[in-house]
Chains A and B, each alone.
Chain A
Amino acid sequence: MSTESIALTAVHQPSRPFGVVLHSWVTTVDHKRLGILYILYAVLFLVIGGVEATIMRIQLIVPHNHFVSPQFFNQMFTMHGTTMIFFVAMPMVFGFGNYLVPLMIGARDMAFPRVNAWSFWLTAFGGFLLYFSFVGGYGLYGAGAAPDVGWFAYAPLTAKVFSLGHSTDFWTLGLLVAGFGSIGAAVNFVATIFCLRCPGMTLGKMPLLVWLDLVMAVLVILAVSPLTAAQVMLALDRFLGAHFFDTQAGGSAVLWMHFFWIFGHPEVYVLVIPCFGFASEIIPVFSRKPIFGYPIMVAASVAIAFISMSVWAHHMFTVGMNSYGNTFFAMTTMAISVPTGIKIFNWLGTMWGGKLIFKTPMLFCIAFLFQFLIAGLTGIMLSAAPFNWQLSASYFVVAHFHYVIVGAILITIFAAFYYWFPKMTGRFYNETLGKVHFWLFVIGFHLTFDFMHIPGLLGMPRRIYTYEPGRGWEIWNLIVTIGVFFQIAGTLVFVGNLLYSMFKGRPAGNDPWDAWTLEWSASSPPPEYNFASIPIVNSRRPLWDIKHPEDPDWQYE
């Protein structure tokens, strides 16, 4: 590490008129501000998506309920899924990545700051376009409002003849626009990580979060593009009378499925891989040990991304592929469980023999480990194709993927919020409220998603606005819905805690957690230029080297 000291003073702005502040935020190209904009946008849509989920769960609390109409329910599950994937989870991981990657690699900003801003605003606009469907869909050609074709929009239900009006077009175009934003952001990540690392930071010395964001960005480039292509094809079908997915003209509904899932499966790894990165930064710091097996963690992450491009048709085991096809995709899906399991063992190995500090970020990471283990195991069940013939399109699958998306992805995003909140705002959140959030949310999560597996095993399909009494599903649906209210309570505590602490929290210094990566050497919050002088690093934990000059990491790596 360079012996030059790095400027550590926090910058206090004199208060300026609101209009000037707003203008500076809207026109910003600073990666930190764009990161925060992504994150705030995602929190807004998290609440909206949560409302949509709550409406569905109330409708399903008893059989033959009349809380909402079938038409509205079908819009709810479509919008809930689309919102959570494209306008909550993706902006969250892009937001944290944008904020942290330049700081962690000792750079002043991303490679292309203006492309960065353009990508954010495109994504934001895509979300607003999708939601405009609630308002703008009515009255146009007499049908539809919000899209109601499911978040994967299978053909030919999306053809003009089955989906009248423009609701499906809002889905197609909103996501197309957001997709360009995602690709732009991914290009930026790749260029930044390859080209802007500070001296001494070889690829083998980057923090794991940076590695994982690089892998995620490559996956976005390779996976979101097929979705873009498929959506252009769907738009051509609907607007210009093309026949890509027009079964009456010899087109293939299964072709849409292939194209969609070639996107859709890597997409879920796009969401979870940065979350692996959050866990890989937080668990070592709160175990007071370095990550166990850094090279294998990198190799496993790359392997996961690589294999994830070959598993997509496990979403299509029931469409009637021949036994060779089904066997191949079962094999690749089972294969991906090996590097994934390895990562769980490495996190366990990091904690083993360590000194575990149970602050809120660590609590969420520990929950992540237990929950991701279960999610992975139900994934193995689903990979056994004949078992899948029973479980697919049932509530078992819904439980499985929510276990990953809520139980692993959202949980680590909460951990990331608490961990980097002091860095982003210069203040501490309230630790007690953090723990209250944790327990409320985890209890609610398990009430909802543990018991949700059971109706699936008892034959309850997904995407149904009501169900028959007497099939043994009632009690489980009741419990599932009750769990939702615990999660709502926990989320409200979370939002309240953050809002309050942003203004009234105890001031935090540069390095409240005694951590080891470069972002903790900048002030909290960092100045616009990040570092007074570009750091020089010798190991994976530059701040450990500074704090322990008698025992630096580079002697052992």
Chain B
Amino acid sequence: MNKLLTIARQSAWNRRSTLVWVVVSLSLATALLWTLERLRHDIRHSFSQSVSGVDLIVGARSSPLQLMLFSVFHIGSVPQSMRMESVLKLAQHRSVSWVVPLSLGDSHRGFPVLGTTPAYFQHFAYGDKQPLVLQQGAAFADTLDGLYEAVIGAEVARKMGYGLGQSITLGHGMHDHDHDHKGEPADGNTDEHADKPFKVVGILAPTGTPVDRSVQVSLKALEAIHLDWVAGTPMPGGQIPADQARKFNLEPEEVTAALVGLKSRAAVFNVQRFVNFYEEEALIGVMPGVALGELWSVLGLGENALLAVSALVALVSVVSLVAVVLAGLNERRRELAVLRAVGAAPRHVLGLLTLEGLWVTCAGVALGVLLAHSGMALATPWLQQSLGIRLQMEAPLPSQLALAGAVLLAGLLASLGPAWRAYRLSLADGLSPRV
């Protein structure tokens, strides 16, 4: 075999201009499949890590998935709020250990603002029941003195360069402030709630969940900044200054949703029934795990479509490999005939062809994996920032290896087909190439 290696190497080097494209096309297919599989896995992982220790998410009746996506991932919206009264009722249920109300709708520079109570920092958990940790400062006080205090997520602090004591203002809605508002004020501050600035009092440690991208304030503060607003527009006839706001009743009447923790998980169906048949308001109680399951089945459709497209891409690249190899067959035929004439046996010829198919596909797959990893390394900050998805740059998944293996196998088979044909031809040619 050794005597063949050098010939195989030199022969391939001689045809490098075509072989390079075979390797490139294989590597692109591999990179696509590899990245997609990683992405698929990490999106799922990311979603499933985002909420932990919460037994029920309760909100006004809508689809379970919609409620969970909005309250935990700040994606989409819910049609209605739930009454604070109902939240308090729920808290009195004998099986309920804690209730944390959530209020969403405002934003800061594109980061969602979450109105809640200090209990949020105590009870909300992510990953494997890991609690939120304040890297700097403390939670907001929930008193009138600490009305305009905010706790920001790690990504907010990093991206905006905020430290403790930073003054921030909130805007209405979830829009991206970089692109909005024509006729903006001269000072460039476009936030609707600029008259009531907040002070950053705490910065959370990174979690790899949507929490990193959130600004947390108290429910009372959200009431305060909306005092002079009616139905989403500023109240005609004057503003209420920040200090004046403290004199008003700031207890919220409505919230978006509530996170519920139970004394015992066994009671979850009991409490869920209590919520779903609550008489004074149409509510729904969602178990995060069940909603995630629903999410997977929705995502699954898109994932399968993507996977099918990538499989097609892989197929196309394998077919192009066959085409390239077949196109070069006449040149090869002459070469094989020469080898036969100087004493190479058919098994040498077959070995030569197999060897080339093997290393070409191996190189393609290896390059593809390399490509995928550099691509993911480049895309990670963007994914983390815009979607809150953290790609895991660690050991490859079994499913990734299986896909790479499939490409390898397909590539090998594709190169062996023409090789077999070349081999048959070289046998038929005998010693003199009929080309």
Q: Do A and B come from one complex?
A: no
User: Which B residues contact A (CB, under 8 angstroms)?
Assistant: none
User: Which A residues contact B (CB, under 8 angstroms)?
Assistant: none
